Each structure stands twice: as C-alpha cells, then as structure tokens.
Amino acid sequence: MNVTAVIPVRAGSLRLKDKNISKFAGTNLLINKIKQLKAVPSINKIVVSSDSEIMLGMAEEANVFTQKRPAEYCDEITKSFSDVIEWVCSDLEGDHILWATCTSPLTDENIYQAALEKYFEVLGKYDSLVTFEKFQHFLWDENGPVNYSAGSQFGGSKELKPLYKKTCGISIAPRNDIIKWKFDHGTNPYMYIIDKRSAVDIDDIYDLVCARAWLDI
C-alpha cells in the first residue's frame, strides 16, 4: 500500500504574509512539516506541491520530491478547489494520498502514523479518513440558539450534544478515488478525533502565536 504525502503550499496568502514559511519550532512551518512526515514509517514518498520557487527550493534542500503547480492552480480564483485536487493527484503516483498541510504544525508524526494505521484498518467500511476536533459549545445563528434552549431547563456545556469540526491536519484516501471525487475525502470518511492542541490550524497571526505557545505543552 504505497502512501504519498502531499504538502500543498503557495506563494500568496491574504491574511498572513508568507504564512507557509512563517517561523516555527526553530525553522519554518514548511520544513517543520517535512521533518514530521519524514519520521512516519508508513509514508513512502513526500511531495511539496507549490507555485513558489522559494518553497520548492526548500523542499529540494530537504531531499523530498516537488511538484511545480501552474499559477492558475494556486491563485484560488481561476480554478476551483476541486480542480486543484484533481490536478495535483493526477500528476502524482501512489496508491493512497495523505494531505498534510503545514499550517497544522502540531499534527505530528505520531498522529500521522496512528491515523495511517487506522485508515488501513477501516478502509472498505469507510472510503477515507479525516481528522476532526470534538467540541461542546453554545452555538447561535441569526435566529438564536441552535443546540440548546435558554430558560429554566438550561444545562451546562457538558450536557450539549457533541459536534465535530473538520481540521486541516490529515485527510487520507485512495488516489484514484480522490481524482474521481475531485475532493480530498469521500462521503463516508472515518472520523479520526484529535485533541484541541493537535487540531490548531494557522490562518492568521493570532493562530500562529497560539501554535507557538502550545508547542512545548
């Protein structure tokens, strides 16, 4: 079962400049992710997919494979997310694809290995594996509470029905199926639950500061 891990990165970032190579753990987010994936026994090949010559150069120096992505597959305007997924996987080899975003820096090698073992254990009953964070919070929309009732019967958060937030840490599926779905997971994924620290995803400077603070916890 050949597993190819893909790290998708691009040059542009609207909310945090040069986000994918922000300083982290004595290096940067991209190199941090490469180091984590290199420590995972079940991964056969690591590919950095990008339009950035700087990031592709970092990948080559780290002795992993690279995929030069055309600009139209990186600007988040010309091509849809589904188009990007299909193009990236059609241009790669490997029986199974593991998507590993460097903006989930605390999803580490131990989690990757355990998730891959679980993926191969449940594949067939489920079509893919995706990481989720379980949470219990009081949620509202424009019409009021959506998961609890205010009033005399009000209970604590522990009484709320658990909900699950999809994280950007891990998504694993057969490569040919990803191409067919034009998405990184299927409609029946195994929900692999990770903790709040491991689930952190960096979108802006506040997320980055939190991830750095949690690094040694």
> What are 91-133's pLDDT values in tens digits?
999 999 999 999 999 999 999 999 999 999 999 999 999 999 9
Confidence band (pLDDT; 50, 70, 90) for 11? confident
Taking Cα atoms as reference points, which of 65, 45, 60, 55 lies closest to residue 102?
A: 55
* Residue span of the structural domain in which 127 resides: 3-214
Pairwise CA distance, residues 45 & 43, whole Å? 6
Type and span of the H or E element at 213: helix 205-214
Confidence band (pLDDT; 50, 70, 90) for 164? very high
Pairwise CA distance, residues 166 & 187, whole Å? 13
For residues 142-169, average pLDDT: 85
Q: Output the six-digit token pair for 67.
A: 């995929």
| Count of helices and strands (H, E) across the chain | 6, 11
Total domains in the fold of the chain: 1
Q: Output the six-digit token pair for 40.
A: 């995972």
User: pTM of the entire structure?
Assistant: 0.93
Q: Tell me, what CATH number does 103's domain have?
A: 3.90.550.10
Given a cut of 80, whether residue 155 has pLDDT beyond it is no
Residue-wise pLDDT for 168-192, tens only, equals 999 999 999 999 999 999 999 999 9
Type and span of the H or E element at 179: helix 175-181
